[in-house]
């Protein structure tokens, strides 16, 4: 509601909001055009385009000129406009630890720091994995293999020759990992809003799209006696490799322009850039794109943000795929030896 209110103010036209509501009712009608082209039908107001580009590139993993209007509308429907945003003060690791407890308390094992080096495939079926453990390799036979490392990496571990050409083509054409540059800024005075958990979405900056006063949420992460601000920056194109130095330079200019206190009171403590071919990009697929959880290899499934249900993105998408695959596996397999 807040977003639409800001939008209405910027554009000042009720008809745009009406069209937006219609779009969310029938997203598929807008599959053929980008969100930017959809909006241009109603307005070329720079602020309106800026607001939506910031929202879309922060949440839907592409700029408004890179993603279909249908995908954006389906996102607003599925994620209910992302009105509820949560940041776990001690990080997402806590969620993982809680999930691990469920496994161990039910007699299972959780191995960490044991990278999988191979998915074992025989007769068109996944039959296990090979992992590194305690300096050696261990093969674990299994009825089902569920991979969370992204479909491209899954193909590498199982062997490209095991997949059909259609599937390999999909991994090339339907996965567009989102590049991102993050910056952590320490300051002896708050750069923006202190004491409040909040996200600032920035419109019209060179690269920065969102800002989080991290020390308001996780004070333990800040250097002693300092404030910590965390910003995300999106490159102009999510299609091509970003030039990391250029991105960081533009973000530095943004910091100076957006935060008057930065130059005197702040210092960058860390840049973290994830390019389009990073093992851990911001997201592995855009909203409305991605590939399925099933693979051409029996008993091998993918979960994660590369296989989003329509309208889903990021960690929500990943969690949704896990529920879907768990449902299938629960029906198809009974616990026991492979």
Ligand X SMILES: Cc1cc2nc3c(=O)[nH]c(=O)nc-3n(C[C@H](O)[C@H](O)[C@H](O)COP(=O)(O)OP(=O)(O)OC[C@H]3O[C@@H](n4cnc5c(N)ncnc54)[C@H](O)[C@@H]3O)c2cc1C
* Sites of contact with ligand X (CB under 6 A): 115-116, 148-149, 153, 182, 274, 280, 282-283, 304-305, 314-316, 318
Considering the complex, state which of residue 227 and residue 274 has its C-beta at the smaller distance from ligand X. 274
Q: Which is nearer to ligand X, 235 or 314 (CB)?
A: 314
Query: How far is Cα 55 from Cα 42, in angstroms, rounded to an integer?
Result: 18
Q: How many alpha carbons fall within 13 Å on the CB side of residue 86?
A: 8
Spatial separation of the C-alpha atoms in residues 157 and 161, rounded to whole Å: 11
State how far Cα 186 lies from the chain centre.
25
- How far apart are CB 147 and ligand X at their closest, in Å? 9
CB of 92 to ligand X, least distance (A): 7
Q: How many CA atoms lie within 13 A of 136 on its CB side?
A: 3
Q: Nearer Cβ to ligand X, position 10 or 291?
A: 291
Which CB, 48 or 129, lies closer to ligand X? 129
Nearest-angstrom CA–CA distance, 85 and 63: 21
At its nearest, how many Å lie between ligand X and the CB of residue 304? 3
Q: With CA atoms as reference, report the closest residue to 200 among 89, 60, 85.
A: 85
48 or 119: whose CB is closer to ligand X? 119
Q: Which is nearer to ligand X, 13 or 152 (CB)?
A: 152
Written as six digits, the tokens of 75 are 């996102």
Burial of 46 (0-12, 13-18, 19+ CB in 10 A): exposed
Query: Which helix (H) or strand (E) is 319 found in, with range?
Result: helix 314-332
In the complex, the smallest distance separating the C-beta of residue 15 from ligand X, rounded to whole angstroms, is: 32
The least CB distance from residue 46 to ligand X, in Å, is 26
């Amino acid at each position: 509601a807040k977003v639409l209110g800001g939008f209405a103010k910027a554009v000042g036209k009720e008809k745009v909001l009406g069209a937006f509501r219609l779009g969310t009712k029938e997203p598929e009608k807008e599959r053929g055009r980008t969100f930017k082209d959809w909006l241009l039908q109603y307005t070329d107001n720079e602020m309106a385009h800026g607001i939506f580009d910031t929202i879309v590139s922060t949440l839907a993993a592409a700029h408004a000129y890179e993603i279909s209007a249908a995908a954006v509308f389906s996102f607003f429907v599925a994620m209910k406009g992302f009105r509820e945003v949560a940041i776990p003060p001690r990080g997402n690791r806590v969620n993982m630890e809680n999930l691990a407890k469920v496994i161990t308390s039910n007699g299972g094992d959780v191995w960490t720091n044991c990278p999988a080096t191979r998915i074992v495939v025989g007769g068109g079926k996944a039959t296990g994995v090979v992992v590194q453990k305690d300096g050696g390799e261990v093969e674990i036979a299994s009825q089902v293999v569920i991979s969370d490392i992204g479909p491209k990496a899954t193909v590498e571990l199982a062997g490209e020759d095991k997949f059909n050409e259609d599937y390999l083509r999909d991994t090339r054409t339907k996965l567009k990992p989102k590049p991102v540059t993050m910056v952590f800024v320490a300051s002896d005075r708050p750069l923006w809003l202190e004491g409040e958990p909040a996200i600032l979405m920035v419109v019209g900056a060179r690269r920065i799209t969102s800002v989080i006063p991290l020390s308001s949420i996780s004070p333990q992460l800040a250097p002693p006696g300092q404030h910590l601000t965390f910003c995300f920056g999106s490159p102009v194109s999510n299609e091509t490799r970003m030039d990391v130095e250029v991105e960081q330079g533009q973000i530095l200019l943004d910091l100076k322009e957006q935060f008057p206190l930065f130059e005197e009171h702040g210092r960058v403590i860390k840049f973290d850039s994830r390019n389009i071919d990073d093992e851990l990009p911001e997201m592995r697929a855009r909203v409305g794109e991605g590939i399925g959880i099933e693979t051409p290899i029996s008993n091998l499934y993918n979960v994660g943000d590369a296989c989003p249900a329509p309208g889903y993105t990021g960690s929500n998408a990943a969690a949704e795929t896990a529920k879907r695959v768990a449902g299938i596996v629960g029906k198809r397999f009974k616990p026991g030896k492979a």
